A and B are shown apart, each in its own frame.
Chain A
């Protein structure tokens, strides 16, 4: 996950300075209250200053070695996926839960979980039929445990009858 020639602490320092500056600016938009000695902008200002200071410290720090700090690398190893496929898997891992979150009321939790699990399992195991079967089984088990067993309400989607069998509190 590191880019050759780019020191991660420099990138983190730069981001921290930007975030700190943004936080201080955002704090200035919060109106102080007349009857309180300190307003809601104090904490964001303090944190913003802290981000600025740590960002500067990371930028000016010299001699920090990757070996001492334990670098996290994504070196390829035998059996791992090729780079393009890895980024594809990363995009799916990130995108599918977001898609399901935004369409949860439409699809319901059982189908939504299946929509997340089946493509990810299929891509990694390269056995699509087996992956779909496992995704369906795991989705049913998890929804049964949380909805039926623990009684937590979950969106049913188009499966109200199945959910009604599992528990009385579904939506």
Chain B
């Protein structure tokens, strides 16, 4: 069956479709404002004209490449191309400012490829088992999982959890604008009908990262003393193997977190990336081998792997149960059905060769990531030589047309600029921006899942800890907040006791 699937896959038509999709994915992922979902949506009219295998292979390639290409503007400009890249764009940009953009991008790229390959292999071998597990996740666990993602985002955002929490709350407040997800009442719309649909993810993402960056550059007078832009990529692949070898645990953790979180309907690559970064934690530096990039690589490796592993995880419920994990997989399901494949428990039994070819296409797409990413980095080199005085107005122009292309309203443009101004205020108050984005993404999910759970239980809050998995997730969420606060105090107290005992002796 695998041989038949390979024969279906390795044809000039399929490989050409994958190469075209990889190029489109690079453009979509690298341009701030254009999301992987938009790229997939734009692919559908083209995919309809293709045979099933090239169409689905192109979709898999575009999804994998565009998610990974979001790292490029994140590292070079500090503007993440996709919400998932926001989890480690700060770390990658810090490395880039130290002249190590190539290393940050290559590490992210290889980790994304390895995470994606892990996701593809697990999808290939264990889809039915994972799908059964994912079916046991109810709205209660989904609410906790989203809360855990929010908590992790605040915890890893910087040296001050209070500021991380405030940034998170700002994102959650922005998410409240629009209609209440359960009752449909307008909230915080100030009587403006144009705000009924909410602020929109793309205007908020572009506003917070791109417009804030442009406004900050204007305030610092064209030459930001605090945040110089990288002028060279620096080393790319050299020294990468030891870096990844030292972080194999973080890589494995990121892949595992990505797979599991991706498989849960409703939780996407962005949640997975934040959770992976928090779960892997900070590796203790080796004695005598301290590297200035260590802390940043510790963030990039697990989150980069989780990013693409999550797509593999999300494809499990999408193919086996027909449940979309996020908007990206919803489009994949639509494409499968357009091509006469009805996702469901029997899909791997009824059309085994086609489904194996789709999974192998995803595997191949992740292997293509490294050469495609290296090509993108080579093409991005001239960007580094463009001065901020020219680049920043162009980023603003690109942001405006990108937002309009996705949202199609002038309100979205106004929201983008206003949120950009909010971002400048947040930076002035030293609040991190990334938790605000995750708060905006996950806020409605937490609220909807929590309210639906309460409605099902007749208003009994005990439902949130009534199931074993829910109780475990609740404990982990509380621990994310409490442990960083308690642990240093316990360590200090134990140290003091030991010193006292030693003095007594």
Contact = CB atoms under 8 A, between A and B. Distances in A.
Interface of A: 1-2, 8-9, 11-12, 15-16, 19, 23, 26, 30-31, 33, 36-40, 42-44, 47, 50-51, 54-55, 57-58, 61, 64, 68-83, 85-87, 89-90, 92-94, 97-98, 100-102, 104-105, 109, 112-113, 116-117, 120-121, 124-125, 134, 138-139, 142-143, 146, 150-154
Interface stretch (B234-242, B254-262, B336-344, B424-432): B424-432
Nearest to A8: B429
Interface of B: 42, 45, 158-160, 162-163, 165-166, 169, 172-173, 176, 180, 182-183, 185, 187-188, 211, 214-216, 218-223, 225-226, 389-390, 392-394, 396-398, 400-402, 404-405, 408, 410, 413-414, 416-417, 420-421, 424, 427-431, 443, 447, 451, 454-455, 458-459
A138 to B, nearest CB: 6
Nearest to A95: B417
Given A30-B185, A93-B396, A101 B221 contact: no
Interface centre among B45, B158, B431 (most CB of A within 10 A): B431
A9 to B, nearest CB: 7
Contacts of A55: 166
A103 B114 CA distance: 48
B219 A12 contact: no
A28 to B, nearest CB: 12
Given A37-B455, A40-B187, A81-B221, A54 B390 contact: no
B430 A86 contact: no
Contacts of A94: 215, 417, 420-421
Contacts of B397: 113, 116-117, 138-139, 142
B163 A50 contact: no
A98 B417 contact: yes
Closest 7 CB pairs of A and B: A37-B459, A80-B221, A12-B429, A40-B180, A101-B413, A81-B221, A124-B389
A75 B221 CA distance: 10
A154 B396 contact: no
A54 B219 contact: no
B454 A37 contact: yes
A104 B403 CA distance: 13
A102 B169 CA distance: 30
Given A8-B429, A47-B173, A90 B219 contact: yes
B176 A44 contact: yes
Given A8-B429, A9-B163, A23-B173, A36 B410 contact: no
Given A38-B454, A50-B169, A75-B225, A86 B219 contact: yes
Contacts of A83: 221
Given A69-B430, A93-B214, A154 B219 contact: no
Most buried by B among A16, A43, A78, A86: A43
A97 B219 contact: no
Contacts of B392: 120, 124
Contacts, number: 206
A71 B169 CA distance: 21
Nearest to A83: B221
A143 B226 contact: no
29 contacts: A1-B216, A1-B424, A8-B429, A8-B430, A31-B185, A37-B454, A38-B451, A43-B172, A43-B176, A69-B160, A73-B225, A75-B225, A80-B223, A86-B218, A89-B222, A93-B214, A94-B417, A97-B400, A98-B414, A98-B417, A101-B413, A102-B410, A104-B410, A116-B396, A120-B393, A120-B396, A125-B389, A142-B401, A153-B408
B401 A143 contact: yes
A148 to B, nearest CB: 12
Contact of B428 (A2, A31, A75, A125): A2
A125 to B, nearest CB: 6
Contact of A54 (B166, B396, B458): B166
A74 B220 contact: yes
A54 B428 CA distance: 17
Given A1-B216, A57-B162, A142-B401, A19 B226 contact: no
B374 to A, nearest CB: 24
Given A78-B223, A121-B390, 17 more contacts: A11-B429, A30-B185, A30-B187, A36-B182, A40-B183, A54-B165, A54-B166, A72-B430, A74-B225, A83-B221, A102-B414, A104-B404, A104-B410, A117-B397, A124-B390, A124-B392, A152-B405
